Chain A
Amino acid sequence: MLTRYKFLLTVTRNNYFLRQLSLESPNVFAKPESRCRTVEDNPLNHNLEHEGRFYVVPPAVCNQLFRFGGIPKGYEVQAKTFDETCLMIRKPALEVINMMKVADYSRPIVKYVLFGERGAGKSLTLAHILHYALNSGHLIIHVPWVPDWMKKCKDHTRSETREGFRDTPLDSAAWLAHFKTQNQHLLSQTDLTVTSNYTWSKREETRSGSPLVELVDLGINRIKYASNIIVALASEVKALSSSGRCKTLVAIDGFNCFYNKRTMIKDENWKIVPPFQLTVTEAFINLVNYNWTNGSVVLTADRLVWSGNERGESDLPLYQLGKEAFELLDPFIPVHVPCYSEKEFHSCMDYYMERSWIQNENGNTEEGRSELMYLSTMNPYQLMKICGPL
């Protein structure tokens, strides 16, 4: 255990936070190395030799990154049953992490778009990238699932500052709490400050030079201004990154939902509100713009943001993003998230057998596995569903 602490300390010399993390919450849940597991739980050190193997995400990290969402619900239930949150180290995540390591941050931001079929692992790839961003000291702007704001909006009001726009007070405040939790270590540093003056009302204003965390706290406490604060926060983060005071990762799951024709929100006249009439949309479209440096943007183009017949026939980024979004994002790096390879499939099956998830002894036989390979078509989500009753 002590040698592992020392190893963590040497790798992340300048990252004071990580030292705190490792000393406060040692990974007592580490299981031995095997064909399906690796002890290396720091994504900074993940490479192709760990490919196809599971690593345990430390519970403290899980709580910090994913408390308000980020890991799909079905996987969360599995994690609760298995008594640990494990992520598989797969090529798409390693690709993006490696590209983020070697990118030239003096140039405008690089955009990565994850795409793949339903259940292939886009959200979990994003989760792995988030863990890397946390460990490497990035400021994280993470939207767990955009359709939650569009389809299951908790509350919406008419915007007071913009004509014809709608605010989403509760969702915005919840997101600001999520932002604060994910970045609590960086926000406590004093050199992240606001660059312009903002006046919210006669008595409330945020002066330039005040810490960024003050702005975030104001949004959480005063729900009325939360949506506008998110817009302000987006431009502040861009300014801070460009000036070199922090490096940023923007991770948005289901980005193509901003380009949906409509939301499930209806205004006072019972007319459907399109996404571009929501205040928060502007913040994230602004963040994805190429006019800032020292940042990375990872998006997913997911078929599931639509519903029913609108889902279309293709999972490819151009089809799912549509013309407008494509023109905004172009040029970007498309990263395909495929279904399991044979190595990954067997690794997953070994993991399920180890966790006693597959009780039937045929889970280990050649015949049983080839049957499951055929039935699940190597799709991770389908495999999870099929192995449920076994």
Chain B
Amino acid sequence: MTVLGVIRLSVLTVPRNVSLYRRGNEEFLHKTYSSYGPHYVKPHVTTEKRKELIESGEAETLKLIPIKAALNYETCSVFHDELTRKFTNHVMRCGKKALARELIEKTFEKIKRIQLEKYHKTPEDQKESIIKDPVKILHDAISNSKPLLELTPVKRGGVRYQVPVPITENRSLFLAIKWLITSAKDKDRKIHFPEKLAWELLDAAANQGRVVKRKVDLHRQCEANKAFAHYRWS
């Protein structure tokens, strides 16, 4: 049976009223259709993981199992960071990944220059408090910008109320990244995006600035609309 035959058969066996996507606890959606059969396993890309597999002996079994191809973005580079990758994807427009990556690289360079300038000017005892690692700044900025609750419109008795609801980890991360990029784009024409984004990230990492203000405003509104929380269920 050809690969194509396998796909057609698996699609036919799925009932029509069931979605082809299943939501699971893991980060990404499970697809019930795939170019690969169900017995294919994911590849292990990092050198560290490969060493572990060889030592534990699992590599011997994996030699006999068919393995999926690695995705385009997966790399064995020791400098790879997952959150930076996600951030770059959100910066990307029209599929121009190379441009998005260049912008992020320039942003990180700019962050380092700003922080190093500050570092050289501070007295010896306060030097340790200055974070110069741009990846750490990005992580801090995003974690400080993540909202804990969201407002959704719920219609009761002809009136739309803004009801505070809990937010998933994914959605929270998405909102934080989106707000950071949007605020970085809101700038004077002559200022370049990497420079503005660098300043936004530094502000958010220090728990100040526009994005953190937006998150805090949202939390305040949720607190104000606490009374409508039960509209979620009634």
Chain A residues within CB distance 8 Å of chain B: 77, 81-83, 355-357, 359-360, 362, 365, 367-368, 371, 388-390
Contact = CB atoms under 8 A, between A and B. Distances in A.
Given A356-B119, A359-B134, A368-B79, A388 B47 contact: no
A362 to B, nearest CB: 4
Nearest to A368: B78
Contacts of A388: 105-106, 108-109, 112
Contacts of A365: 78
Interface string B102-120: 0011101100110011011
13 contacts: A81-B113, A359-B112, A359-B132, A359-B135, A360-B133, A360-B135, A365-B78, A388-B105, A388-B106, A388-B109, A389-B105, A389-B108, A389-B109
A356 B117 CA distance: 11
Contacts of A367: 47, 78
Nearest to A362: B78
B117 A371 contact: no
Nearest to B77: A371
A81 B106 CA distance: 15
A360 B79 contact: yes
B132 A362 contact: no
A58 B135 CA distance: 34
A77 B112 CA distance: 12
Most buried by A among B79, B106, B113: B79
**Overall SS of chain A's interface:** loop
A362 B112 contact: no
Nearest to B102: A389
Nearest to B107: A389
Interface residues of B, number: 20
A389 B104 contact: yes
A371 B78 contact: yes
Contacts of B106: 388-389
Given A367-B47, A368-B78, A371-B79, A389 B134 contact: yes
B105 A356 contact: no
Given A356-B132, A371-B78, A388-B105, 20 more contacts: A81-B112, A82-B116, A356-B116, A359-B133, A359-B134, A359-B135, A359-B136, A360-B133, A360-B135, A362-B79, A368-B78, A371-B79, A388-B106, A388-B108, A388-B109, A388-B112, A389-B104, A389-B106, A389-B134, A390-B79
Contacts of A357: 112, 116
Contacts of B105: 388-389
Interface in B125-172: 132-136
Contacts of A362: 78-79
Contacts of A83: 120
Contacts of A360: 79, 133, 135
A82 B78 CA distance: 25
B141 to A, nearest CB: 15
Nearest to A77: B113
Contacts of B104: 389
Contacts of A371: 77-79
Nearest to B84: A389
Nearest to A375: B77
Contacts of B133: 359-360
Contacts of B120: 83
B48 to A, nearest CB: 9
Contacts of A82: 116
A172 B78 CA distance: 51
Nearest to B131: A359
A368 B79 CA distance: 7
Most buried by A among B77, B108, B109, B119: B109
3 closest Cβ pairs, A-B complex = A389-B108, A389-B105, A359-B133
Contact of A81 (B117, B135, B136): B117
A83 B116 CA distance: 9
A370 to B, nearest CB: 10
A222 B116 CA distance: 44
A362 B133 CA distance: 13
Contacts of A390: 79, 108
A388 B113 CA distance: 10
Nearest to A84: B120
A362 B47 CA distance: 14
B165 to A, nearest CB: 37
A367 B79 CA distance: 10
Nearest to A82: B116
